[in-house]
């Protein structure tokens, strides 16, 4: 499979970056071709321009992201790797979705009927590897896990009905080397099984 791994963390020495490297390495060892997309290192511009927004539903043509759009149209699978901050995505990753997963790329939108039709039905794998500073009960019960809902209920359906997984390391603020290593092994095992 051709799998894109989209990573979003500003620090290369972070645990999240170690997860990214493990995902890419595990997929490549399993024989997959990987497009390793590191949004910070690539200098991705998350800002939706005035022109892009004005033409969003009429003639959307994002400027400067043609390579990201091309990859999205070619891949068989996608895996996102990022931390959760303030119960949500990093701003850079949200900007990636705003600009790259737009109309005519990820979906078509019937403005009169309000219906959305997915356009990424060639994507057969949709995965998420993430971390939260808070414990699971605070994320799920108190905050309602908004980023998970956005990814799994809004973005994943643009891919039709792909196989999916959502792996999360909770309570990173109190994580130990042992809990980090266990989660890293869990990620490697899940990716090796693809």
Report how many domains make up the chain. 1
Strands, E assignment, the chain: 2-7, 33-38, 77-84, 107-110, 115-118, 125-132, 163-169
Whether pLDDT at 61 is above 90: no
Domain with 185 in it: 2-192
Average pLDDT over residues 77-81: 98
CA distance 34 to 114: 35
Whether pLDDT at 139 is above 70: no
Give the H/E segment covering residue 95. Answer: helix 91-100
CA distance 68 to 43: 12
Give the H/E segment covering residue 67. Answer: helix 66-74
At 55, is the pLDDT very low, low, confident or very high (cuts 50, 70, 90)? confident
| Predicted TM-score of the model (pTM) | 0.93
User: How many angstroms separate the first and last alpha carbons of the chain?
Assistant: 9
How does pLDDT run across 17-48, given as a tens digit for each residue? 999 999 999 999 999 999 999 999 999 999 98
Q: Which of 30-34, 104-108, 146-150 has the lowest mean pLDDT?
A: 146-150
Q: What is the CATH number of the domain that holds 154?
A: 3.40.50.360
């Amino acid at each position: 499979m051709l799998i894109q791994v989209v990573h979003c963390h500003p620090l290369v020495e972070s645990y999240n970056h170690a997860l990214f490297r493990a995902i890419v390495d595990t997929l490549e060892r399993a024989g997959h071709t990987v497009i390793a997309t590191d949004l910070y290192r690539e200098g991705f511009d998350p800002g939706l321009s005035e022109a892009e927004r004005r033409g969003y539903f009429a003639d959307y043509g994002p400027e400067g992201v043609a390579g990201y759009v091309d990859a999205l149209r070619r891949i068989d699978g996608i895996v996102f790797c990022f931390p959760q901050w303030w119960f949500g995505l990093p701003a850079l990753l949200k900007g990636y979705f705003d600009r790259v997963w737009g109309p005519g790329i990820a979906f078509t939108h019937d403005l009169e009927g309000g219906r959305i039709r997915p356009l990424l039905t060639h994507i057969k794998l949709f995965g998420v590897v993430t971390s939260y500073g808070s414990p699971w009960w605070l994320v799920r019960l108190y905050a309602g896990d908004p980023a998970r809902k956005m990814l799994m209920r809004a973005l994943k359906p643009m891919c039709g009905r792909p196989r999916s997984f959502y792996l999360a390391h909770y309570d990173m603020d109190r994580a130990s080397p042992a809990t980090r290593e266990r989660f890293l092994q869990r990620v490697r095992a899940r990716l090796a099984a693809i």
